[in-house]
Amino acid sequence: MTNNSLVIQNVSLSYDNGKVLAIDNISFNVSADTVCVIIGPSGSGKSTLLRTIAGIEKNFDGNLFLGGEKLSPKTKKIGFVPQNYGLYPWLTVEENILLGVRIKGKIMGDIILKMNNIMESLGIFDFRHRFPKELSGGQQQRVSLARAFLLNADLLLMDEPFSALDAITREETQNIFLSLWEKHKLITILVTHDVEEALYLGKSIIVLSKKGRIWEILNNPFFGNRDLPIFLFDEKLEKISIF
C-alpha cells in the first residue's frame, strides 16, 4: 500500500437519529492505481458509503485518509459521477465539462486543449455545443466522464454510472471508461449491483452484506477481461453472484 492510498477506517453512519444503521464499521484500503468496486444488494449501504467518502454525508464515525492526510473536499479534488449523469440541462456539453475545473480555479489554455483531447477520445467533440437533452443516455454519460477526468481529481467516485444504459451502450461506455482510466489512473471507487460489471471493472471488489457490513474483499484476477473463464463460479465469486 503506497502513501497515496485511500484509507477507510472503521466508518459507520446511521440515519433517523441512530435508528437505521446504514454502514457498520467499514474498513478497507484502496491503493493508488486501483479501481475499487463496491457491490452489494439494495439497501446494503453502497450509496451511503460513497456519499460519506465524497464528503456529502458529514455525520459519521471513523476516519478517512487520502495520501496520508484527512480526506476533505476542501483540500482534495473529488470527482463524482452520479447515476443520472449530473449534467446541467441549461449548459452545453462543453460548459458542463468545464464546470468542475471552473469551480476549482481559472480556465487555462492547456485545460481547453486537454478537454478537446478528452472529448475526441470519447467521441463527443462534435456535440460540444449541444445541450444534454439533445444527446442519448450513453453520450450524456460520456460527458459526465469527460468532466470527471478533466478535473484530474485526487479521487474519482462513481455511483452506478452505467446502470441506466442499455446493454450494448453499457459495454461500450465501460470500455471507454477503462481506456480513459488506463491513461489517467485516478484512484477510483465505483458502486454497482451488477456482478459482470464488478468483475470487468474492479481490480479489487468490496462485497457488502445487507446489514451494511463488509462481507468479503476480493482481489479480482478478471479485471479488464471480458472473457470470463468457466471456472469463474468458484467458491468466493459464487457468493457475489447470488444478489
* CA 72 – CA 87 distance, rounded (Å): 23
CA distances from 118 to 59, 71, 179, 184, 231 (A): 36, 27, 11, 11, 37
User: Which is closer to ligand ADP, CB of 78 or CB of 98?
Assistant: 78
3-state secondary structure of 188: strand
- How big is the site for ligand ADP, counted in residues (CB under 6 A)? 12
The sign of the dihedral angle between the CA atoms of 65, 68, 72, 73 is: negative
User: Which is closer to ligand ADP, CB of 40 or CB of 132?
Assistant: 40
Question: Can residue 48 be called a binding residue for ligand ADP (CB under 6 A)?
Answer: yes
CB of 106 to ligand ADP, least distance (A): 36
Among 34, 37, 39, 45, binds ligand ADP (CB under 6 A): 45
Strands across the sheet with 35-39, in order?
A: 78-81, 155-159, 188-192, 35-39, 204-208, 214-219
Question: Can residue 189 be called a binding residue for ligand ADP (CB under 6 A)?
Answer: no
DSSP β-ladder status, 204-208 and 214-219: antiparallel
Among 47, 96, 140, 174, binds ligand ADP (CB under 6 A): 47
Question: Can residue 44 be called a binding residue for ligand ADP (CB under 6 A)?
Answer: yes
Question: Can residue 96 be called a binding residue for ligand ADP (CB under 6 A)?
Answer: no
Question: Can residue 138 be called a binding residue for ligand ADP (CB under 6 A)?
Answer: no
Total Cβ atoms within 10 A of residue 85 = 20
Among 1, 9, 10, 15, binds ligand ADP (CB under 6 A): 15
3-state secondary structure of 79: strand
CB of 22 to ligand ADP, least distance (A): 3
Q: x/- binding map, residues 117-136, to ligand ADP, per CB under 6 A?
A: --------------------
Question: Can residue 192 be called a binding residue for ligand ADP (CB under 6 A)?
Answer: no
Among 1, 9, 10, 20, binds ligand ADP (CB under 6 A): 20
Task: Single out the segment in contact with ligand ADP by CB under 6 A; choices: 16-24, 75-83, 165-173, 224-232.
Answer: 16-24
- The C-alpha angle with vertex 14 and arms to 70 and 218, in degrees rounded to 5, equals 65
Residue given cell 485516478 in the structure block: 186
Catalogue the E-assigned strands of the chain.
Answer: 6-15, 20-30, 35-39, 61-66, 69-70, 78-81, 155-159, 188-192, 204-208, 214-219
Question: Can residue 81 be called a binding residue for ligand ADP (CB under 6 A)?
Answer: no
Read off the C-alpha cell for 180: 480513459
Among 42, 58, 168, 227, binds ligand ADP (CB under 6 A): 42
Question: Given the rule CB under 6 A, which residues bind ligand ADP?
Answer: 15-16, 20, 22, 40, 42-48
